Amino acid sequence: MTWTAKPIKHKGESRIAVYFEKNQDLIARIKQVAGARWSQQKTVWHLPDTIENRERFKIEPLKNSLPSAEGIIQIEKFKQWLRSKRYSESTISTYSEALKSFLIFYREKSVVEINNEDVIIYNNEYILKNKLSASYQNQTVNSIKLFFITIIGTKIDIDKIHRPKRAKLLPNVLSKEEVKLILNAHSNIKHKTMLSLIYSCGLRRGELLNLKPNDIDSKRGIVIIRQSKGKKDRIVPLSPKILEMLRDYYVISKPKTWLFEGQNVGEHYSEQSLQSVLKQALQKVGNKKPVTLHWLRHSYATHLLENGTDLRYIQELLGHNSSKTTEIYTHVSTKSIQQIKSPFDDL
């Protein structure tokens, strides 16, 4: 197998992009690396830019890419604490890498001497200077705060640290007509059912791929989503129409472990393949928008709101902790906006 790897910047983060011809064995191996993700935008697998990953893919290490000996010990303690609290490996990797970057910046200073002023200097002299994203800055500050409270036992006062304003981006929403075209694009029953289930239940990509046959409760008319974001279970209503589709799919595919399996029995259907299913559907219907699987979830929530569903129920169906997260859909719902008459019409 041949591959090439190089450091890249992706969404403000330092990552290592790994390029290779499509190979299921190599994809499976890359998925086992903590923090590995597929970028639909760059069409490449990318990993955290760590010392271990640079060694793994034979990339020259960065100068001064290690914290002090004390810093290395403290990072390991932080990882152990996160694992004891059952944080996901992805979160552990993200938090520990953010902390490592900070401690590399202060490698000549004792960890216990670091204070609020040092965090502000790091924000200005490293994050802003390197034009890293606002979300990365917030992520780093959260990591530093948690580390100092739990491991060092000192408090970093976040209120005194300049946090960037979050960009107020509206969710991308498709019309019902656009959704219908996309969901009907595939003749393959498996592909059609996967996309339809995401929209009909407002699922995240990982939630769909982690469904098991028994999670479809046809008698109660619900889908059980287990241990989703935030390690929470929730239930969503099962459309009679999607139930018929699932029954047709089940007769043909006879899934064993997962509701949607890969080429081999008991194997997870890959995120990359699911992205390709959507991409092919868009090509078939001639939709040139940069649609992602999450657009279907956004569209589900917005269409529920436009149908008159109470925002509190939508919050429960989506699995949001805060109602503020769900309220963003009120800004893209066209139900009220369409009733407003433009003064232009009176000219």
Residues 73, 39 share a domain: no
* pLDDT tens figures, 51-72: 677 777 777 655 556 788 899 9
Helix residue ranges per DSSP H, 43-110:
51-56, 69-84, 89-105
Which CATH number goes with the domain that contains 132? 1.10.150.130
Residue 184: which domain range? 176-331
Candidates 229, 234, 268, 284; catalytic one: 229
Domain count, the chain: 3
Q: Does the residue 165 lie in any domain?
A: no
Residues 76, 48 share a domain: no
Q: Does the residue 180 lie in any domain?
A: yes
Candidates 95, 136, 199, 329; catalytic one: 329
Residues 191, 136 share a domain: no
**Catalytic annotation present for 229:** yes
Judge whether 114 and 67 are in contact, CB under 8 Å.
no
* pLDDT tens figures, 179-226: 999 999 999 999 999 999 999 999 999 999 999 999 999 999 999 999
**Catalytic annotation present for 298:** no
Q: Does the residue 23 lie in any domain?
A: yes
Residues 155, 191 share a domain: no
* pLDDT tens figures, 78-125: 999 999 998 888 788 889 988 998 998 898 889 888 888 888 888 888
**Catalytic annotation present for 329:** yes
In 3D space, the residue among 272, 194, 279 whose CA is nearest the CA of residue 23 turns out to be 272
Looking at residues 158-180, what average pLDDT do you find? 76
Judge whether 286 and 181 are in contact, CB under 8 Å.
no
How many other C-beta atoms are found inside a 10 Å radius of the C-beta of residue 274?
Answer: 21
How many other C-beta atoms are found inside a 10 Å radius of the C-beta of residue 20?
Answer: 15
Candidates 37, 204, 234, 284; catalytic one: 204
- Out of 11, 27, 56, a domain closes at 56
**Catalytic annotation present for 320:** yes
Q: Does the residue 337 lie in any domain?
A: no
Residues 212, 141 share a domain: no
Angle among Cα 11, 12, 17 to the nearest 5 degrees reads 65
Which CATH number goes with the domain that contains 227? 1.10.443.10
Query: What number of helices (H) and strands (E) belong to the chain?
Result: 14, 7
Residues 258, 130 share a domain: no
**Catalytic annotation present for 204:** yes
**Catalytic annotation present for 107:** no
Residues 298, 210 share a domain: yes
Q: Does the residue 338 lie in any domain?
A: no
Strand 216-217 with 222-225, pairing: antiparallel
